[in-house]
Amino acid sequence: MNYRHAFHAGNFADVLKHAVLALCLEHFKRKDKPFAVIDTHAGIGAYDLTSDAARRSPEWQQGIGRVMAAERPADVERVLAPLLRIIKAMNTGADLTAYPGSPEVSARLIRPADRVHLCELHEADSKTLDKRYALNARVKMEQRDGYKALKALLPPREKRGLVLIDPPFESRDEFVRLAEAAMRGLERWPSGTFVFWRPMKDLWSLDRFDEGLAEWLVTERDVEPSSILRADMWVRDLQSEGKLAGAGLVIINPPHTLEADLLVLMPWLCEALRQGEGAGWRLDGIVTGEMAASWEG
């Protein structure tokens, strides 16, 4: 387990992922009934952008750094507001020095009756998480394999909420494990909102995951194609060398407002965060191609 999210915190992929997470949780809060967030690959919860790791690999400067510095049109501001409120609350000085991980986004957005369950396998990272949320009774943390934990955690007693599966993609079989977890998770909790993060590196495996999952849901589980949403963004040509060029999310049972919000956010975000030729984004339903919107340039 060599992956350390501190090297990547606040990059373009984090901004998209955390904006979606925040939008989903804000949507759940429109109803009084409590909800649960299950975060299977939690990381350390929040990131110090002045740390050695963030200085050695300042990906955040081309991610959240640019977003904060940009002039944001009013409709983009509205969509980003749930995430930006958290970032502003964590950064009271003039400089951007702190960025929330997914646990912190959830912990800051839940209400007293809601709860967050975190899994983190890495020993040192799980200790950091433990310390961060030790005094927060609504956040429970377990040092264990998040994929395996899903069996015990689903369905949550609230019967409402979200599962975020955000693995490090260090091992060759990560897509296989992700697909197995997706199918088992959705069998146990068909009405839950599931958010799967995946990098746009091995595009063959990515397509197999996306299309396989969507087809299984539609043909075997009678899921409406409109309950499947894919949101991907790439900041330069996907074939280009170097650091991660693209990433995105498959979202099952998204809030009904999410697609419209992402149609506002993605064109702006892609333009604001582009790192060269061939940047682009797509928002679609995978199997049907319905409601598709995409751009490449």
Ligand X SMILES: C[S@@+](CC[C@H](N)C(=O)[O-])C[C@H]1O[C@@H](n2cnc3c(N)ncnc32)[C@H](O)[C@@H]1O
Catalytic residues: 166
Shortest Cβ distance from residue 125 to ligand X (Å)? Answer: 5
Residue 121 interacting with ligand X (CB under 6 A):
yes
Q: What are the C-alpha distances in Å from 264 to residues 70, 126, 275? A: 16, 36, 20
Shortest Cβ distance from residue 204 to ligand X (Å)? Answer: 22
Q: Taking a C-beta distance cutoff of 8 angstroms, is the pair 18, 79 a contact?
A: no
Question: Which backbone phi and psi does 119 adopt, to 5 degrees?
Answer: -120, 135
- Stretch of 53-61, 117-125, 259-267, 283-291 lying at the interface with ligand X (CB under 6 A): 117-125
Considering only residues 59, 114, 120, 259, which one is a binding residue for ligand X as defined by CB under 6 A?
A: 120
Considering only residues 58, 168, 212, 278, which one is a binding residue for ligand X as defined by CB under 6 A?
A: 168
Distance, in Å, from the CA atom of 119 to the CA atom of 154, rounded to the nearest integer, reads: 14
Shortest Cβ distance from residue 35 to ligand X (Å)? Answer: 18
Distance, in Å, from the CA atom of 115 to the CA atom of 165, rounded to the nearest integer, reads: 17
Please give the angle made by the CA atoms of 180, 181 and 185, to the nearest 5 degrees.
120
Nearer to ligand X among residue 196 and residue 281 (C-beta): 196
Residue of this chain nearest to ligand X (CB atom): 101
Question: Residue 19, Cα to own-chain centre: how many angstroms?
Answer: 8
Distance, in Å, from the CA atom of 239 to the CA atom of 246, rounded to the nearest integer, reads: 10
Considering only residues 23, 119, 182, 250, which one is a binding residue for ligand X as defined by CB under 6 A?
A: 119
Residue 38 interacting with ligand X (CB under 6 A):
no
The kind and range of the H/E element at 16 are: helix 12-28
Considering only residues 63, 146, 192, 285, which one is a binding residue for ligand X as defined by CB under 6 A?
A: 146
Residue 63 interacting with ligand X (CB under 6 A):
no
Size of the site for ligand X (CB under 6 A): 21
- Residue 172: Cβ within 10 Å count: 9
Shortest Cβ distance from residue 39 to ligand X (Å)? Answer: 6
Mapped onto helix, strand or coil, the DSSP state of residue 125 is: helix
Query: From the annotation, which residues make up the binding site?
Result: 18, 41, 102, 120, 145-146, 166
The kind and range of the H/E element at 293 are: strand 293-296
Query: From the annotation, which residues make up the binding site for S-adenosyl-L-methionine?
Result: 18, 41, 102, 120, 145-146, 166
**Which residues here bind ligand X, judged by CB under 6 A?**
1, 3, 5, 17, 40-43, 101-102, 119-122, 125, 145-147, 166-168
